[in-house]
């Protein structure tokens, strides 16, 4: 079983994801350069976030034109597993692999802090091993506000495609617990076929005891357990 992490010019979370995968589930990880046209036999593709030039250039809109994205779109449409984190989530929406869009935070400021996430759907590739109803995962974005039309939002909930919602410590999705203004406090979704996933928070930044937070480990363990079951 092999995991691929796409490296874009200026991305700075690719190494974080690679280390998290290697340290939490001890699996082979391959770096895929954005100009590659071969996914090198990977079973799961990660699109990382943390672009060093910030969110000023709509990084997802630009990255979707990278040569490797054509192969990733084909891979995802055929049922291959694709996971986008932060700007990677943005790339998935810009590429049409996930519905909706990521807009500037309502505060118009970059936000970097731990947030509480309500695990809405525990029967997905990334949540099957998550025992907690609420996990604490860091966010770091300026353009993380999830937006879609009312019909799409309703469809996401009706089809159990919403995976995470921003919440308070009691699991309540109140407006004060929403860091960026995302509609319905949405922090992560999947497609109808349950093979493409996007989330704004960074589980790879919550996968080491040295970081005083290991809530992200269960997400990576869920991926491995789902694939091996």
Per-residue pLDDT of 12-45, as tens digits, reads 889 999 999 999 999 889 999 999 999 999 999 9
Secondary structure letter of residue 185 according to DSSP:
G
What is the CATH classification number for the domain harbouring 17?
A: 3.40.50.880
CA distance 168 to 185: 11
Which pTM does this prediction carry?
A: 0.94
Looking at per-residue pLDDT, the higher value among 49 and 203 belongs to: 203
Per-residue pLDDT of 82-117, as tens digits, reads 999 999 999 999 999 999 999 999 999 999 999 999
Per-residue pLDDT of 166-193, as tens digits, reads 999 999 999 999 999 999 999 999 999 9
The pLDDT assigned to 55 comes to: 52
Question: Which residues are known to be catalytic?
Answer: 86, 202, 204
Tally of domains within the chain: 1
Main-chain dihedrals φ then ψ at residue 16, nearest 5 degrees: -60, -45
Where in the sequence is the domain holding 159, given as residue range(s)? 2-228
Instruction: Give the dihedral sign, CA 73/164/4/14.
Output: positive
Residues 11 and 87 sit within 8 Å (Cβ to Cβ): yes
């Amino acid at each position: 079983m092999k995991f691929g992490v796409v490296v874009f010019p200026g991305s700075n979370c690719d190494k974080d994801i690679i280390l998290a995968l290697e340290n939490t589930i001890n699996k082979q990880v391959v770096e895929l350069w954005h100009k590659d046209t071969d996914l090198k036999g990977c079973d799961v593709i990660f699109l990382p976030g943390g672009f060093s030039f910030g969110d000023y250039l709509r990084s997802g809109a630009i990255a979707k034109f990278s040569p490797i994205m054509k192969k990733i779109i084909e891979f995802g449409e055929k049922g291959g597993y694709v996971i986008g984190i932060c700007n990677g989530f943005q790339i998935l929406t810009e590429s049409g692999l996930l519905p909706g869009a990521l807009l500037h935070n309502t505060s118009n400021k970059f936000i970097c802090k731990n947030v509480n996430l309500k695990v809405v759907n525990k029967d997905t590739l990334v949540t099957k091993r998550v025992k907690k109803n609420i996990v604490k995962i860091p966010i770091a974005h300026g353009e993380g506000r999830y937006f879609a039309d009312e019909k799409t939002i309703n469809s996401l909930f009706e089809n159990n495609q919403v995976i995470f919602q921003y919440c308070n410590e009691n699991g309540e999705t109140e407006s004060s617990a929403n860091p960026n203004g995302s509609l319905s406090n949405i922090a992560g979704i999947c497609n109808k076929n349950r093979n493409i996933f996007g989330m704004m928070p960074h589980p790879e930044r919550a996968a080491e005891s040295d970081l005083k937070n290991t809530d992200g480990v269960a997400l990576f363990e869920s991926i491995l357990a789902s694939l091996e079951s």
